[in-house]
Amino acid sequence: MKKIISVVGARPNFMKIAPIHLEFLKYKDLVQHWICHTGQHYDEKMSKIFFKELNISEPDFNLNVGSGSHAVQTANIMLEFEKVLIAEKPNLVIVVGDVNSTIACSLVAKKMNIPVAHIEAGLRSFDRTMPEEINRILTDSISDYLFVTEQSGIDNLKNEGIEESKIFFTGNVMIDSLVQNMSKIDSSAILSSLDLDKSNYILCTLHRPSNVDTKVPLEQILNALNSFAGKRKIVFPVHPRTRANMELFGIGGDLSASFLFTDPIGYIDFLCLIKNAALVITDSGGIQEETTFLRVPCVTLRNNTERPVTITMGSNHLAGTDVSKLTGIVTDILDGKVEKAAIPPLWDGKAAERICRILI
């Protein structure tokens, strides 16, 4: 019996590991699959709700590291994860995405000569001021199995000199979760509970440090959103980082009554909100992919994206931090001037199946 430990830490990790966990259950005579939660995210609405909704059991290990500076958080995860690996001696560690938990755990495993598989490898924003870009480059450089979601990932890894035999184009596990939960998403009561009609609202999320950690960009973005409030309601589930900064900078008090600020929203209800929105405005990575799959127009408030297929094929538009560009794109979308987009190759709900077959 082989032992595999998959690591989750922050909100976008849970829906990536859920389909892997469910797939490994099919091989339970061969593999014992455990989930280790680092505790990077810990609120009920940032973490626990996802385990309940995605039908995965409570994590087998919980490191409870919580928040901190990058160094403190990464170091604490490493200290605690090493204890788990010493005790359990797994045959493989699986990490996903690009958060601090991803690099912390892959580094610990590699130093103990335990092979590492990285799911969602090869994505690059080419912006090394983003903490996630550092996490991606370092994790990929030491991983043994690199599972890629789009062609750009293969190209980037080859350009960085990664051996081709380690790279596998397997598709997008985040889309697996979406496909697996589609009927629950369609049965969600969130529209009626927030008094929303289909296509009659804009959904917005913001949490990138470059947009929310200083007053000027955050205030400019909220003011720009305010200018659309006459046309549509604006539904804004607020990330804890963003809420804290809005309070710190004293902004948001004079926004239109069309704004609907909420706490972070669970997976099923949030996907229902994406699916039925007129458009989504975000700085998230994963939401660019979910909107592409659901063919809902998305405007990304960043100067770059590590997921270029969402632009070349999908429904995503980069607005950068230029508020006038944001206004132009949103106006075009609301006026129906953008074309329907396509779904990228292998975003078909079967990525976990491919990944687990390769690992087995």
Within positions 121 to 150, which residues make up the interface with ligand UD1, using CB under 6 A? 131-132
> Are 222 and 251 within 8 A, CB to CB?
yes
The least CB distance from residue 43 to ligand UD1, in Å, is 4
345 binds ligand UD1 (CB under 6 A): no
Q: Which is nearer to ligand UD1, 150 or 306 (CB)?
A: 306
241 binds ligand UD1 (CB under 6 A): yes
Any idea what DSSP says for residue 84?
A: H
Catalytic residue list contains 207 = yes
Q: How far is the C-alpha of 6 from the C-alpha of 33, rounded, in Å?
A: 7
- List the catalytic residue out of 41, 207, 239, 317: 207
**To 10 degrees, what angle do helices 286-294 and 267-276 make?**
50
Q: How far is the C-alpha of 3 from the C-alpha of 89, rounded, in Å?
A: 8
Helix (H, G, I), strand (E, B) or coil at 173: helix
Among 27-35, 38-46, 49-57, 218-226, which window interacts with ligand UD1 (CB under 6 A)?
A: 38-46
48 binds ligand UD1 (CB under 6 A): no
Work out which of 184, 210, 226, 240 binds ligand UD1, going by CB under 6 A.
240
Strands (E) across the chain are located at 2-8, 31-37, 61-62, 92-96, 116-121, 145-148, 167-169, 201-205, 233-237, 259-262, 279-282, 298-300, 316-318
Among 94-102, 118-126, 157-165, 224-232, which window interacts with ligand UD1 (CB under 6 A)?
A: 94-102
Q: How far is the C-alpha of 297 from the C-alpha of 304, rounded, in Å?
A: 17
| Per-position x/- string for 178-217, each x denoting binding to ligand UD1 as judged by CB under 6 A, each - no binding | -----------------------------x----------
Q: How many residues bind ligand UD1 (CB under 6 A)?
A: 20
Helix (H, G, I), strand (E, B) or coil at 36: strand
Residues that bind ligand UD1 (CB under 6 A): 10-12, 40-43, 46-47, 67, 98-100, 131-132, 207, 239-241, 244
